[in-house]
Amino acid sequence: MTDIGMVLGRLGTKLVTEVAPKLEGDYSGGHAAMAGLMSVMAGEAWDGAADRLFTEIGEIRSLLQQGGMAVDVPESPSLKVSDLTKERDFLALNLIALQASVETREDEAAKMLNAQIWVHLMKTAQARMPSPPVFPDAEG
């Protein structure tokens, strides 16, 4: 079984549309519905996770370079999501420091760099946003 996104999506749909309605009225019904919705989300996120992190890492490194900030964050030893996440998190800490410093300056170069940081933050937030959940109607 190689298409993990598909498997998670189908499992989630099963939980939401078949299992949860049968548990209606029991506390575990709510758990089943939430687990199903998140399984669908996980299926969607799985396919793009490494690509999203790779993009974030490249953009942050570029912004830090533009800001003249020397960073001592080693490149990820693999393309595992866990390794990429670690690299992205270290870089993000540097980005926070860079933006805080840029915001204290009034010159045009600083304003432009700050705007570029915002472009990155907005695009990243868009990319991280899962598709809206489809809540099934309650069945009897």
Partner 1 sequence: MLEEELKSRFAHYAAARIPGARNMKITQMSRIHGGASRQTYSIDLAYDDAHGPQTRGVILRRDPPDSLIDTERRVEFAAIQSAYGQYGIPVPEAMFLETSSDALGAPFFVMGRIEGGEPLNPFKMDAIEPHREAVGRQFFQHLGAIAALPVSGSALTREIDTPTPDACWKRELTYWTNEIRRNAKTPQPVAEAAIRHLERNPPPPAQRLSIVHGDYRTGNYLHDGNGKINAILDWEMAHIGDPYEDLAWATDLLWCGNDMERAAGFLPWPDAIRTWQSASGCVFDPAAFEWWSLFSHIKALGIWVTSEKAFADGANDDPILAWSGWFTHAAHELMLAMRLGQKYGVDL
User: Which residues in this chain contact partner 1 in the complex, by CB under 8 A?
Assistant: 25-27, 29-31, 34-35, 37-38, 41, 85, 89, 92-93, 95-96, 99-100, 103, 111, 114-115, 118-119, 121-126, 128-130, 132-133, 135
Q: How far from 79 is each of 27, 69, 90, 112, CA to CA, in Å?
A: 39, 25, 16, 32
What is the closest distance, in whole angstroms, from the C-beta atom of residue 60 to partner 1 in the complex?
9
What is the closest distance, in whole angstroms, from the C-beta atom of residue 8 to partner 1 in the complex?
14
Rg (CA), the chain: 20
Rounded distance, CA 124 to CA 121, Å?
5
**Closest Cα partner for 18 from 4, 9, 29?**
29
What is the closest distance, in whole angstroms, from the C-beta atom of residue 72 to partner 1 in the complex?
16
Rounded distance, CA 63 to CA 116, Å?
8
What is the closest distance, in whole angstroms, from the C-beta atom of residue 42 to partner 1 in the complex?
9
* Residue closer to partner 1 (CB basis): 2 or 20: 20
3-state secondary structure 74-109: CCCCCCCHHHHHHHHHHHHHHHHHHHHHHCCCCCHH
* Residue closer to partner 1 (CB basis): 2 or 100: 100
* Residue closer to partner 1 (CB basis): 2 or 131: 131
* Residue closer to partner 1 (CB basis): 27 or 77: 27
